[in-house]
C-alpha cells in the first residue's frame, strides 16, 4: 500500500490528495521502522545476521516463518518510495523518514552480504562459478520449490532497487537465473534438449508473468534479452479460449489444469509492453528503448499515447518508411516536470547507424548510437533520423 500511495503521488503530483493521505503514509513507514527494531537487540539462537530486518514471517503460499529476502526488499522499497514522495511534497517528516529508510537499506545489504559469504558458489553454463544469494537468511544454498527460490528469490535485490542492476552482484544473480534457475526443474520447466529449447523455453520460470525478472535487463539496457524474456513469458501463459493469461501452465507448457485468468500476471505483461515504448528512471525518460527492430520494417505506425510517468503524461508515434532510409518519431512531451534527460531511440530493422537528425525540420547535433537527446524540449516534437 505504501508503494501504491507514493507512486500515485509521484506520477500525479496531486498535492491536495497527498496532503490528505500523508499522515497515513507516515504511520505506515513508522510501523515498518518499529517492526525492524524488534530484531536489533539480542535474539535467542541468532548469529545477528537479521539485525535491522523485519521479524521472521511467512511468505505468501509458504507458511514457514523466516527472514525472507523478497519481503524485506519490497518493504524497504515501499519505505524508500514513501521517503521520496514526502521529499517531493516538502513534508516536515521527510528528512527523518529518509534517514530511517536508508538505515533500513544498509542493514539489509549487510545481512544479505553476510548470507552470500556463507553460501556455496553456483556453476554457470560456461564453467564459471559465481556467488549466490539464498532466498532467506540462514539458508546456505537452494531452498525448496520455485516459489521460494525463484519467484521470491534474489532477483528482488535488483527489482526493488536495493542493488544497482549494473553491479557485479547483479551479474552474478542474473547469470544464475538465466543459466540455472530458469532452466532447471523444479524452478523452471523441463528443457529436454537444452541447446535446442533454450531460445523458445528459456528466460522464465513457472508462473512466467509474475516475476519481473526481465526488468533488470531493461535497466541494464539489454533490450534483446528483455524482448526474448517478455515474449517467451507472454506466449507461455496466453490462452486463446479465454483471451487472457493464466497463472501458469501445469504440468507442462501448453497444458493447463485450470484456465482461470490471473489479473496480477496480466497487469505485469501490460506494464512490460508499455516499457517497450516509454521507459523511465528517476532522472531519465526514454522513448523506444526496447521496441523490436522488426516493428520498424512494417507499413504501419507504431505508437502509444497517454502514458503516465513521474515527469508527466507523454506519448510517442514512430512512422514507417519503406525505403528504410529514415524513421520519423512524433513525441508528445507536454510540459515535463523535474527536468529529466529525454532520449528517443531508433532501432533500425537492419541495425543501420544514424547519419543525421532533424528536429521539427531543423538539423540537430545531439545524437549518439541509436539515441537522440531532446532534453529541454516540450510540446510535440518531430524527430527525424536519417540512415
Got the DSSP string for 189-243?
Answer: ---SSHHHHHHHH-S--SSTTTS-TTHHHHHTT-HHHHHHHHHHHHHHHEETTTT
Question: Which segment of 69-78, 169-178, 295-304 scores lowest on mean pLDDT?
Answer: 295-304
pLDDT bin (cut points 50, 70, 90) of residue 2 is confident
Write phi, then psi, for 116 (nearest 5 degrees).
Answer: -60, -40
Q: DSSP letters along 74-109, please? A: HHHHHHHHHHHHHHHHT-TTHHHHHHHHHHHHHHHH
What one-character DSSP code corresponds to residue 352?
Answer: P
Q: Does domain 285-386 have CATH number 1.10.1040.10?
A: no
Interacting residues of 24 by C-beta distance below 8 A, sequence separation 6+:
5
Least confident of 67-76, 181-190, 283-292: 181-190
- Local structure of 21: helix, strand or coil: helix
Q: How far apart are CA 380 and CA 52, in angstroms?
A: 48
75, 1 contact by CB (below 8 A): no
* Dist. CA 314–CA 379, nearest whole Å: 9
The total number of residues shown for the chain amounts to: 387
Instruction: State how far the alpha carbon of 235 is from the alpha carbons of 139, 173, 232, 272, in Å.
Output: 34, 25, 5, 14
Among 122, 226, 228, CA closest to 173: 122
Integer-rounded Cα radius of gyration of the chain: 23
- Residue 278 pairs in a beta bridge with 287
The confidence band for 52, taking pLDDT boundaries of 50, 70 and 90, is very high
333 touches 313 (CB < 8 A)? no
Q: What is the pLDDT of residue 277?
A: 98
**pTM, rounded to two decimals:** 0.94
Q: Where are the domains of the chain?
A: 1-162, 189-280, 285-386
Query: With 70 as the cut, is the pLDDT of residue 1 above it?
Result: yes
Report the mean per-residue pLDDT for the chain.
Answer: 94
Residue 260: per-residue pLDDT? 73
Indicate if the pLDDT at residue 110 is higher than 90. Answer: yes
Selection from 160, 56, 57 nearest residue 101 by Cα:
160
Q: Give me the pLDDT at residue 246, please.
A: 86
The vertex-282 CA angle with 161 and 83, nearest 5°, equals 70
Q: Which residues contact 323 (CB under 8 A, 6 or more apart)?
A: none
Of the candidates 224, 227, 387, the one whose C-alpha atom is nearest the C-alpha of residue 321 is 387
Residue 308 has pLDDT above 70, yes or no: yes
Alpha carbon distance 113, 108 (integer Å)? 8
Please, which pLDDT band fits residue 288 given cuts at 50, 70 and 90?
Answer: very high
pLDDT at 259 over 70: no
Beta-bridge partners for 284: 341
Amino acid at each position: 500500500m505504501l508503494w501504491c500511495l507514493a507512486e500515485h503521488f509521484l506520477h500525479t503530483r496531486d498535492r491536495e490528495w497527498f496532503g490528505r493521505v500523508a499522515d497515513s503514509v507516515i504511520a505506515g513507514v513508522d510501523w515498518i521502522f518499529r517492526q525492524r527494531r524488534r530484531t536489533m537487540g539480542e535474539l535467542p539462537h541468532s548469529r545477528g545476521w537479521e539485525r535491522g530486518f523485519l521479524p521472521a514471517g511467512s511468505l505468501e503460499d509458504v507458511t514457514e516463518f523466516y527472514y525472507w529476502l523478497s519481503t524485506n526488499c519490497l518493504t524497504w522499497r515501499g519505505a524508500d518510495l514513501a521517503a521520496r514522495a514526502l521529499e517531493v511534497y516538502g513534508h516536515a517528516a521527510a528528512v527523518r523518514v529518509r534517514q530511517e529508510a536508508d538505515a533500513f537499506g544498509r542493514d539489509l545489504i549487510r545481512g544479505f552480504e553476510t548470507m552470500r559469504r556463507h553460501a556455496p558458489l553456483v556453476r554457470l553454463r560456461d564453467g564459471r562459478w559465481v556467488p549466490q544469494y539464498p532466498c532467506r537468511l540462514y539458508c546456505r544454498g537452494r531452498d525448496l520449490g520455485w516459489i521460494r527460490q525463484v519467484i521470491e528469490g534474489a532477483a528482488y535485490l535488483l527489482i526493488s532497487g536495493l542493488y544497482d542492476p549494473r553491479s557485479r552482484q547483479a551479474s552474478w544473480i542474473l547469470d544464475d537465473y538465466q543459466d540455472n534457475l530458469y532452466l532447471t526443474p523444479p524452478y523452471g520447466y523441463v528443457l529436454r534438449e537444452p541447446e535446442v529449447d533454450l531460445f523458445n523455453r528459456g528466460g522464465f520460470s513457472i508462473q512466467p508473468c509474475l516475476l519481473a525478472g526481465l526488468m533488470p535487463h531493461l535497466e541494464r539496457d539489454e533490450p534483446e534479452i528483455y524482448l526474448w524474456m517478455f515474449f517467451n513469458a507472454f506466449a507461455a501463459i496466453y490462452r486463446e479460449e479465454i483471451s487472457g493469461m493464466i497463472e501458469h501452465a501445469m504440468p507442462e507448457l501448453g497444458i493447463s489444469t485450470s484456465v482461470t485468468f490471473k489479473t496480477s500476471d496480466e497487469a505485469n505483461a501490460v506494464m512490460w509492453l508499455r516499457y517497450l515504448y516509454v521507459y523511465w528512471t528517476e532522472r531519465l525518460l526514454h522513448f523506444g528503448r526496447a521496441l523490436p527492430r522488426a516493428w520498424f520494417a512494417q507499413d504501419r505506425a507504431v505508437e502509444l499515447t497517454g502514458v503516465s510517468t513521474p515527469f508527466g503524461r507523454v506519448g510517442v508515434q514512430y512512422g514507417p518508411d519503406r525505403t528504410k532510409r529514415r524513421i520519423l518519431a512524433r513525441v508528445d512531451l507536454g510540459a515535463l516536470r523535474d527536468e529529466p534527460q529525454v532520449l528517443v531511440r531508433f532501432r533500425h530493422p537492419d541495425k543501420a547507424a544514424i547519419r543525421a537528425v532533424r528536429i521539427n525540420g531543423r538539423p540537430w547535433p545531439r545524437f549518439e548510437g541509436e539515441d537522440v537527446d531532446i532534453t529541454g524540449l516540450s510540446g510535440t516534437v518531430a524527430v527525424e533520423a536519417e540512415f
